[in-house]
Amino acid sequence: MSQSPASPIKVGIVGGTGYTGVELLRMLCQHPHVKLTSITSRTEDGMRVAEMFPSLRGRVDLAFSSPEKAELTSCDVVFFATPHGVAMAQAKTLLAAGVKVIDLAADFRLQDTKVFEQWYKIPHACPDVLAESVYGVVELNRASIAKARVVGNPGCYPTTVLLGLSPLFGGAPLIDLHDIVVDAKSGISGAGRKAEVSHLLAEAADNFKAYGVAGHRHKPEIQEQLDRMAGAPVGLTFIPHLLPMIRGMFSTIYANILPEALGVDYQKLFEDHYRGEAFVDVMPAGSMPETRSVRASNTLRIAIHRPGNGRKLIILVVQDNLVKGAAGQAIQNMNLMFGFPETAGLSHVAISP
Positions marked active-site: 156
Q: Which residues pair with 252 in a beta bridge?
A: 183, 316
Instruction: Give the pairing of strands 100-103 and 150-152.
Output: parallel
| Dihedral Cα 221, 239, 181, 103, nearest 10 deg | 20
Q: Does 291 bind its own copies (CB under 8 A)?
A: yes
Q: How far is the CB of 55 from its own copies (least distance, A)?
A: 4
Q: Of 212-231, which residues contact its own copies (CB under 8 A)?
A: 213-215
Give the number of residues in contact with its own copies, rule: CB under 8 A. 84
Look at residues 26, 12, 14 and name the one whose alpha carbon lies nearest to residue 56: 26
Look at residues 152, 324, 172, 175 and name the one whose alpha carbon lies nearest to residue 249: 324
- Closest CB to its own copies among 143 and 194? 194
3-state secondary structure of 246: coil
Q: Does 295 bind its own copies (CB under 8 A)?
A: yes
| Whole-angstrom distance, CA of residue 315 vs CA of residue 306 | 9
**Side-chain half-sphere exposure of 155, counting CA atoms within 13 A:** 26
Q: Does 179 bind its own copies (CB under 8 A)?
A: yes
| Whole-angstrom distance, CA of residue 310 vs CA of residue 262 | 8
Q: How far is the CB of 350 from its own copies (least distance, A)?
A: 4
Q: Does 353 bind its own copies (CB under 8 A)?
A: yes
Which one among 8, 85, 228, 254 touches its own copies, defined by CB under 8 A? 254
- Closest CB to its own copies among 70 and 188? 188
Q: Counting beta carbons within 10 angstroms of the beta carbon of residue 244, is it exposed (0 to 12), middle (13 to 18) or buried (19 or more)? A: middle
Q: Of 70-129, which residues contact its own copies (CB under 8 A)?
A: none
Q: Does 35 bind its own copies (CB under 8 A)?
A: no
Report CA-CA distances (Å) from 220 to 3, 105, 110, 120, 248.
41, 14, 8, 11, 22
Q: Of 40-59, which residues contact its own copies (CB under 8 A)?
A: 53-59
Q: In what order do the strands lie in the sheet with 100-103?
A: 34-40, 9-14, 77-80, 100-103, 150-152, 134-135
| Whole-angstrom distance, CA of residue 159 vs CA of residue 179 | 19
Q: Does 290 bind its own copies (CB under 8 A)?
A: yes
Interacting span for its own copies (CB under 8 A) from 69-77, 95-103, 250-258, 263-271: 250-258
Which one among 3, 121, 143, 206 touches its own copies, defined by CB under 8 A? 206
Q: How far is the CB of 50 from its own copies (least distance, A)?
A: 10
Interacting span for its own copies (CB under 8 A) from 72-80, 165-173, 266-274, 284-292: 284-292
- Closest CB to its own copies among 69 and 209? 209
Instruction: Give the pairing of strands 300-305 and 150-152.
Output: unpaired
Q: How far is the CB of 26 from its own copies (least distance, A)?
A: 5
For residue 5, the 8-state DSSP code is: P
Interacting span for its own copies (CB under 8 A) from 62-70, 87-95, 246-254, 266-274: 246-254
x/- contact string, 133-172, with its own copies (CB under 8 A)? ----------------------------------------
Which one among 119, 228, 241, 267 touches its own copies, defined by CB under 8 A? 241
| Whole-angstrom distance, CA of residue 177 vs CA of residue 117 | 26
Which one among 11, 13, 16, 19 touches its own copies, defined by CB under 8 A? 19
Which one among 64, 250, 266, 270 touches its own copies, defined by CB under 8 A? 250
H/E element holding 90?
A: helix 87-96
Interacting span for its own copies (CB under 8 A) from 69-77, 136-144, 146-154, 305-313: 305-313
Q: How far is the CB of 129 from its own copies (least distance, A)?
A: 31
